[in-house]
Amino acid sequence: MRYVLVALLIVLFGYSLALVLQNGTELTVDLLFTQVPAMRLGLLLLLTLALGIVVGLLLGVQVFRVFQNSWEIKRLRKDIDYLRKEQIKSAQQAAAEAAASTRHEKTVLDIQPEDRPSNPL
């Protein structure tokens, strides 16, 4: 991956150098707050390209972050629903066990030794 990135940077540098050398015409550039009397067309193209790349990357990162947050919220909501269902199941099991234990204690406690007949036959 590192070699691909280095090769891409070399190609990009070569392209920008050729762009500046091929477009040597000087022209005046009117920026919003100032005016540049003489600038090479190739340099102007490079500056605009770089500015466009930077703005595009920043906007792309922000948009991706919004999507990433949305995906994370959806995943967490699914986890919450799953955990809520698991909690309800465990509470129902605990209630059933408590009810069964209470019934068992009632039946054991209801039979007293003096209630038994003395002669089983």
Query: Model confidence over 49-105: pLDDT tens digits?
Result: 889 989 988 888 888 888 889 899 999 999 999 999 999 999 999 998 888 877 766
Query: Token pair of 20, please?
Result: 């500046």
Considering all CA atoms of the chain, what is the largest pairwise distance in Å, rounded to the nearest integer? 125
User: Which pLDDT score, from 0 to 100, does residue 37 have?
Assistant: 84
Q: Which one, of 63, 61, 65, 28, lies nearest residue 44 by Cα?
A: 28
d(CA 73, CA 115): 64
Q: What pTM does this model have?
A: 0.49
Percent of the chain residues topping a pLDDT of 90:
23
For the four alpha carbons of 8, 10, 12 and 14, in that order, the dihedral sign comes to: negative
Beta bridge partners of 20: none
